[in-house]
Amino acid sequence: MEVDALANVLANVLYEVETRKISLDRAFTRVCRRVKCSTRNFTREEVHRIAEGFLRRVVSLYEVLKVCGRRGTSRRFLARLYLYLASRELGLRFTSRMRRSLERMFPELKRFNEILVSEPWISLGYPRWVYEKVSRLLGEDESYKMLEALDRRVMWLRVNTLLMDVDKAVKELESEGVRVAPVKRVPFLLRVIESQRPVRNTRLFREGKVIIQDKASVFTVLALEPDRGELIYDFAAAPGIKTSLIMQLTENRARVVAMDLSPKRLQSMKALLKKYGVDISRVELVLADTRVFRPRGAAHAALVDAPCSSSGAIPKDPSIKLFLQDQDRVRKFSHTQRLMLQNALPVSERVVYATCSIFPEEGEEVVSKVLSEADSHVLEDPRIDASRGYKLYPIWNRVRRTYPHVDECEGFFIARLVRG
């Protein structure tokens, strides 16, 4: 039966995400190696979208069950409950017998919607602490809009001008059923308006001529203002998307020392850079823990796109909502981020520090703490078309944030520090 097949896939995806702490895409790929991920009425691509919807709502399901005093519910039951609630939208047929079975297991089913809207964090599908923290920063109305927007992905494409010019890319994308709109101030950045097929299946994507890269991610490199002939340190370089943009902006004339902690990711990065037309002779790949490793010699600039909670990346990976149930996750990353930024300042004339996070503990607080202990650098306004930081912090008007409901992209923090 179709419902059973779908519930099996969803339950297995949730198991992979929760036990391995991996993304939706990786979990789905792993599940599909051992379970059939298509049904009579749904293609594999459509089942992936159903799994995405499930992960976006699963925290809501957990919270409703918690209100009802139910704990230890099986993942398969959660999957069946989600499919029942979304059955009309998905075009699934639940028989009377199936519905009665759910009601026996969950007598409060008829009250589900009432409980769902009883608290904003339940209806939004976030842990309570996330909603309360963001509300203190932005107020309840604005925080609701932002958290709601994190559940909608706006897809952005970067035209790789090392391999293709923008006008030609736009025409070819449209011929493949992908309608885009260029950004005025960043002509190589395109917003996907409509797509008749997954962008990853287009020829231009397969050939590395267009790259899926969020607008906020592009802004971090634009804030760095890389120039030809400069030596640039990339303190957390893999998978290489931002390194490739540095080389694109400098027409392959910068020199980059790209550091990362993972040998496997560095190896993949080398192949990716070659595919993107980067002059690999001008990129040095270094296996290093940049919390403690400091490169020799001074660089013109450094990019510290630090590991983080990824709370701003929920649009592309809803599994992050589940990871945020661990409130200590943010504190752990904050310590790493501070060490990396402290390590970059002595060897760089200018530094861009960025995190894909909506939390000030990974943004304003890291920068404020580091600057209070080092007088070598000062904040300089990043010249990018993004919003300002959180107003509760004195540095709010000298740093930038992208807010999903305002800037229509992922939630990033971006600061530019220059030697004083």
3-state SS, 125-163, equals CCCHHHHHHHHHHHCHHHHHHHHHHCCCCCCEEEECCCC
Per-residue pLDDT reduced to its tens digit, 334-347: 999 999 999 999 99
Distance CA 205, CA 212 (A): 8
The answer, yes or no, to whether residue 74 has pLDDT greater than 80, is yes
- 40-44 contacts at long range (C-beta below 8 A, 24 or more positions apart): 40/2, 41/2, 41/91, 42/2, 42/6
For residues 183-195, average pLDDT: 96
Determine whether 76 is exposed, middle or buried from the number of CB atoms within 10 Å of its CB (0-12, 13-18, 19+). Answer: middle
DSSP 49-73: HHHHHHHHHHHHHHHHHHHTT--S-
CA-CA distance, 119 to 374, in Å (whole number)? 43
Query: Please, what sign has the CA dihedral across residues 72, 359, 354, 215?
Result: positive
pLDDT digits (tens, 9 = 90+) for 350-362: 999 999 999 999 9
In this model, does residue 153 exceed pLDDT 80? yes
Alpha helix locations (H) across 239-346? Answer: 241-249, 263-275, 319-323, 328-344
Amino acid in position 125: G
What pTM value is reported for the model? 0.96
Q: Are 301 and 232 in contact (CB under 8 A)?
A: yes
pLDDT at 420: 87
The span from the CA of 3 to the CA of 19, in Å, is 24
Distances (CA, A) of 310 to 51, 212, 322, 345, 411: 20, 17, 12, 24, 9
Q: What is the pLDDT of residue 72?
A: 77
CB atoms closer than 10 angstroms to residue 7: 22
CA nearest neighbour of 322 among 66, 121, 55, 82: 55
Let me know: does 196 contact 174? Beta carbons within 8 Å. no
What is the structure's pLDDT at 1? 66
Element (H, E) at 98: helix 96-105
For the stretch 6-57, pLDDT in tens is 999 999 999 999 999 999 999 999 999 999 999 989 999 999 999 999 999 9
d(CA 46, CA 406): 29
Q: What's the pLDDT at 150?
A: 98
Mean pLDDT check: name the lowest of 8-22, 108-122, 129-143.
Answer: 108-122
Spatial CA neighbour of 352 closest among 373, 377, 369: 377
**Which tens digits make up the pLDDT trace of 252-286?**
999 999 999 999 999 999 999 999 999 999 999 99
CA distance 3 to 9: 10
Q: Are 223 and 301 in contact (CB under 8 A)?
A: no
Contact between residue 124 and residue 131 where contact means Cβ atoms under 8 Å apart = yes
Q: Which amino acid is at 174?
A: E
State the pLDDT confidence band at 407, using cuts at 50, 70 and 90: very high
d(CA 20, CA 15): 8
Q: How far is Cα 218 from Cα 220, in angstroms, rounded to an integer?
A: 5
Cα 150 to Cα 410: distance, rounded to the nearest angstrom: 7
Residue 382 has pLDDT above 90, yes or no: yes
Average pLDDT, integer, range 287-292: 95
- Nearest-angstrom CA–CA distance, 6 and 78: 12
CA distance 175 to 169: 10
H or E segment to which residue 368 belongs: helix 364-373
Q: Find out whether the peptide bond into 239 is cis, omega within 30 degrees of 0.
A: yes
Give me 386's structure tokens. 């993004």
What is the reported pLDDT for 71? 77
> What is the spatial distance between Cα 215 and Cα 158, in angstroms, rounded to a whole number?
9
The pLDDT tens digits of the residues spanning 238-254 come to 999 999 999 999 999 99
